[in-house]
Amino acid sequence: NTRLLEDKEFSKRVRENFNKASTNHQFGIFAQWDSFKQEIKNEAIECSCITSFHAKKDKNLLLCNLKTLHELECETPGLFHEEILRVKCQIQSHEQKRFHGALVRPRCRRFLSSETPTRRALDDETRNRQSKKIQLLNCNGALSSDELDIMNAFESHYQSLFGRTQSINREKAKYLVSWMPQVSQLKCDLLGRPITLEDVQCAIDELPNSKTPGPDGLPAEFYKEHKELLSPFLLKVFLEAYAQETLPPSFYKSHTVLIPKSKEADKLLNVEGYRPITLCNVDYKIFAKILTKRLQYVTSSVVGNHQTCGIKGRTIQTNIHVARTIIESCCAHADQVAMVQVDLAKAFDRVSHTFLFDILRHVNLGPTLFKGIEICYRNCTTRHIVNGSLSGPIRLESSVKQGCPLSPLLFALYLEPLCLSVLNSPTVEGYRFYSTEVKVLAYADDICRFFC
């Protein structure tokens, strides 16, 4: 509830809990940070309950007063008219706060910013919640509506998918990785500088608002509101993570929500019909954003122009323009070309960590950036949210987390050897446009191949 950030009493409790946790030297810095977050979560729940209780109590009192005023107005018409209007306005104010929450939670986009939310917002929220509920699923070859069966089906599927270490041919992998260019030593040295307070504060400023938080329940707005208080301690946490080569335990925990890939009912009867989106804790995202900014600095020199996803200065419009130009050129010159569009199934979920880190090691990111990425993907677990319930923890032995700031760039690097194998193959002939030969275009896992 981000409205708590406007509560001076809650802000006071944040500072008190932070001072208490950060000066408790009986525990290490990781334990201090995680205990502080847990205390703030408990405080937020308590404050929200108290606020909700008082709001409900005030509203009931206003309704009681309104009833009394109506009775008095019937006895002496016109005498209590203004008082009735005032009480009605106060009741309406309570209702609008409730309706506004119903707009925010499902991220409703149909209302204008100047429009007053009404009871319809509550109905829309209920419909939105029901539409996201998975009511029927193919479980072990038979359709089931039992929530436990549905949960077990998803848990079993993702334990198999995420918990499996991909077996790769080491010699072939080494050969493919050898095609990748390397970062210059000058850039590598720049990447190797220690994380600074400015890095932490810039990462906090760049966090998007109104995003669902991770398991700790602390949103980006909380870190922005208390940036000056928290960022120096977060810097200590990140530097200690490098020293210990591990992150605080809470950084490795996440929740995963399942987003339908299609509106077709038949496709949503299978576990493959849903896309897993990871909800990471915001402190983890701050650390990952710092690494992402550094990785962004060198990715364009390592990944070719054929890949446009996640790389600064590149957009999918470039791919569309190139494909359209090729088709128009073929029509104008009576040429022939075959264009094959390939969407790699579960591409992000099947990323082999072994092969990924072979690539990162080869391209020469330097020890600071490489170690930072490595500890981000060590001992990670996630719990799936299915129909409002949590699954058991699932270890992430493979995959890059869709929801982690690092993921788009890591996947672009992971896919690059495949693209280079096509580009460097003498037996694959692409479409030649003047002095340029176009063989492949890619946007994340969407690959377009040209054959002549």
Where do we find the tokens 């007063």? 65
Backbone angles phi, psi at 266, to 5 degrees: -60, -40
Give the whole-angstrom CA distance, residue 401 versus residue 255: 11
Q: Do 341 and 439 reside in the same domain of the chain?
A: yes
- pLDDT for 60 equals 83
Question: Cβ neighbours of residue 121 under 8 Å, at least 6 residues apart?
Answer: 99, 100, 102, 103, 108, 111
Q: Do 109 and 164 reside in the same domain of the chain?
A: no
Residue 195: pLDDT band with limits 50, 70, 90: very high
Q: Do 69 and 89 reside in the same domain of the chain?
A: yes
Q: Has residue 34 got a pLDDT over 90?
A: yes
Per residue in 246-300, pLDDT (tens digit) is: 999 999 999 999 999 888 888 899 999 999 999 999 999 999 999 999 999 999 9
- pLDDT for 292 equals 97
Residue in 64, 345, 62, 41 with CA at minimum distance from that of residue 216: 41
Q: Total domain count for the chain?
A: 2
Q: Do 288 and 219 reside in the same domain of the chain?
A: yes
Check: CB of residue 443 under 8 Å from CB of residue 206: no
Who wins on pLDDT, 209 or 56?
209
Average pLDDT over residues 64-75: 84
Residue 166: pLDDT band with limits 50, 70, 90: low
Q: Do 239 and 312 reside in the same domain of the chain?
A: yes
- pLDDT for 334 equals 80
- pLDDT for 451 equals 83
Per residue in 83-129, pLDDT (tens digit) is: 888 888 888 877 777 666 655 555 554 544 445 555 565 566 566 66
CA 36, distance to chain mean position in Å, is: 23
Where do we find the tokens 């307070």? 197
Residue 363: pLDDT band with limits 50, 70, 90: very high
Give the whole-angstrom CA distance, residue 217 versus residue 215: 5
CA distances from 13 to 2, 36, 41, 46, 358 (A): 15, 11, 11, 12, 46
Backbone angles phi, psi at 263, to 5 degrees: -95, -5
- pLDDT for 103 equals 55
Question: Cβ neighbours of residue 59 under 8 Å, at least 6 residues apart?
Answer: 91, 94
- pLDDT for 452 equals 78
Check: CB of residue 279 under 8 Å from CB of residue 213: yes
Q: Do 146 and 189 reside in the same domain of the chain?
A: yes
Q: Do 200 and 330 reside in the same domain of the chain?
A: yes
- pLDDT for 300 equals 92
CA dihedral (104, 107, 112, 115) positive or negative? negative
Question: Cβ neighbours of residue 83 under 8 Å, at least 6 residues apart?
Answer: 69
- pLDDT for 52 equals 78
Give the whole-angstrom CA distance, residue 2 versus residue 105: 12
Q: Do 118 and 145 reside in the same domain of the chain?
A: no
Check: CB of residue 448 under 8 Å from CB of residue 442: yes
Average pLDDT, the chain: 88
Last residue of a domain, one of 86, 117, 132: 132
Q: Which of 39-48, 97-106, 165-174 has the lowest mean pLDDT?
A: 97-106
Backbone angles phi, psi at 144, to 5 degrees: -140, 145
Average pLDDT over residues 178-198: 92
- pLDDT for 113 equals 47
**Domain residue limits at 96:** 2-132
- Spell out the alpha helix ranges (H) of 245-352: 282-302, 316-333
Coil, strand or helix at 280: strand
Q: Do 56 and 167 reside in the same domain of the chain?
A: no
Last residue of a domain, one of 84, 102, 132: 132
Q: Do 279 and 173 reside in the same domain of the chain?
A: yes
- pLDDT for 404 equals 95
Check: CB of residue 337 under 8 Å from CB of residue 326: yes
Last residue of a domain, one of 91, 114, 132: 132
Q: Do 189 and 141 reside in the same domain of the chain?
A: yes
Average pLDDT over residues 196-208: 97
Q: Do 99 and 199 reside in the same domain of the chain?
A: no
- pLDDT for 114 equals 47
Where do we find the tokens 């002939």? 429
